[in-house]
Amino acid sequence: MQAYTDIRALIIDMDGVLWHGDRAQAGLVDFFQALRELKLPFILATNNASLTAEQYVDKLEKMGVTVALKEILTSGMATALYLSERYDPQTTRVFVIGGIGARQPLLDLGFKLTELYETDPDQRAHLVVCGMDRELSWDKLATATLNLRAGAHFIGTNGDLSLPTERGETHGNGAILAALTASTGVTPMIIGKPESIIYRQALSLLNVDQGYTVAIGDRLDTDILGAVRTGIRSLMVLSGVSTEQDVAAADFGPTWIVPDIRDITEILRNNTL
């Protein structure tokens, strides 16, 4: 058993860990109370780019939990930050498949977003960014395809093939990326987990050595693999997508496995893992 003092910060996934859709996981409020009592800093880092940080703050507020904007990092935010470090926002045009959570961070950093069926070659997008889109349409897919065929670079906020909801598991952004790859032959660059980009951004925000940081997630192929690639320890909850059988069949795995966040709360308060 390891002492809790060996853990100084957490990077926490949301879907499947904190809630299923709009239904909070049991023990949610107590979990965050424990983090505050222990003065344990955290970043809520989600692959789901459908909402803005402000909307996630509101969602948690409705569930009885108060968090700050600076404690949230979405794959939409991570994508905008990554692109702003490599492209000039003032001269780079972006076509976005995705909701406000994918669009707003790009706008905040000064990128110009192009519209459907932009036919002027001088106004076409340099980049196609694809995130979770609950209003996905034929026209959006067609416009993305035309831009990609014209040479735009392809960026996926995340590659999750499925999404846990209160109704069950539905398709995720990875399914949309697959459709666009099938129609264009272009493979996207992924910003979210399991790539290490979003984890490294979270570590920078926390300003804690990665050796003292633990990632919490429910997906073996994104949350846990991303932690492995980043070189940080991980704790997998069984309240979301992946199972112990999935771990047994893989050639990598989490540092620890627990049923859900209620167990994490108990572990942190008892000072052991």
Which residues fall within 8 angstroms of residue 265, CB to CB, at 6 or more apart? 27, 30, 31, 34
Q: Can you tell me the mean pLDDT for 252-270?
A: 95
Residues 83 and 184 in one domain: yes
Statement: residue 36 has pLDDT above 60: yes
Residue 72 lies in a domain: no
In the sheet with 233-237, reading across from the earlier edge strand, the strands are 72-74, 42-46, 9-12, 213-217, 233-237, 256-258
Q: Which of 13, 133, 223, 260 is catalytic?
A: 13
pTM: 0.92
Residue 13 falls in the annotated catalytic set: yes
What is the domain extent for residue 139? 77-190
Statement: residue 272 has pLDDT above 80: no
Other CB atoms within a 10 A radius of the CB of residue 118 amount to: 16
Domain boundary among 140, 167, 190: 190
Predicted local distance difference test score (pLDDT) of residue 215? 98
Q: What is the pLDDT of residues 96-113, one digit of tens each?
A: 999 999 999 999 999 999
Instruction: Give me the chain's average pLDDT, please.
Output: 94
CA dihedral (30, 31, 36, 38) in degrees, to 10, reads 110
User: What separation in angstroms does the CA of 41 have from each of 9, 33, 44, 191, 212?
Assistant: 5, 12, 10, 23, 11
Residues 170 and 198 in one domain: no
Residues 168 and 222 in one domain: no
Residue 60 lies in a domain: no
pLDDT band at 163; cut points 50, 70, 90: confident
Domain containing 31 — which CATH number? 3.40.50.1000
Residues 81 and 174 in one domain: yes
Residues 226 and 204 in one domain: yes
Residue 117 lies in a domain: yes
pLDDT band at 75; cut points 50, 70, 90: very high
Residue 12 lies in a domain: yes
Q: Which of 6, 15, 22, 246 is catalytic?
A: 15
pLDDT band at 4; cut points 50, 70, 90: low
User: What separation in angstroms does the CA of 171 have from each of 122, 153, 168, 178, 241?
Assistant: 35, 24, 10, 11, 12
Tokens found for residue 251: 């050639």
Residue 61 lies in a domain: no
Residues 89 and 165 in one domain: yes
Predicted local distance difference test score (pLDDT) of residue 168? 81
Q: Residue 94 — φ and ψ, nearest 5°?
A: -130, 130
Percent of the chain surpassing pLDDT 90: 86
Domain boundary among 139, 155, 190: 190
Predicted local distance difference test score (pLDDT) of residue 3? 52
Residues 172 and 232 in one domain: no
The answer to the question of whether 193 is labelled as a binding residue is yes
Domain count, the chain: 2
Predicted local distance difference test score (pLDDT) of residue 52? 96
Residue 160 lies in a domain: yes
Statement: residue 200 has pLDDT above 80: yes
The answer to the question of whether 13 is labelled as a binding residue is yes
Residue 15 falls in the annotated catalytic set: yes
Statement: residue 164 has pLDDT above 70: no
Residues 164 and 213 in one domain: no
User: What separation in angstroms does the CA of 21 have from each of 5, 115, 123, 221?
Assistant: 33, 29, 37, 20
User: What separation in angstroms does the CA of 56 have from each of 7, 52, 60, 83, 84?
Assistant: 25, 6, 6, 22, 23
User: What separation in angstroms does the CA of 166 have from each of 17, 20, 25, 160?
Assistant: 13, 5, 10, 17
Predicted local distance difference test score (pLDDT) of residue 162? 76
Residue 63 lies in a domain: no
Residues 186 and 110 in one domain: yes
Residues 82 and 134 in one domain: yes
Statement: residue 88 has pLDDT above 50: yes
Residues 157 and 185 in one domain: yes
Predicted local distance difference test score (pLDDT) of residue 1? 44
Residues 205 and 178 in one domain: no
Tell me the CA end-to-end span of the chain in Å, nearest whole number. Answer: 5
Domain boundary among 124, 155, 190: 190
Statement: residue 167 has pLDDT above 90: no
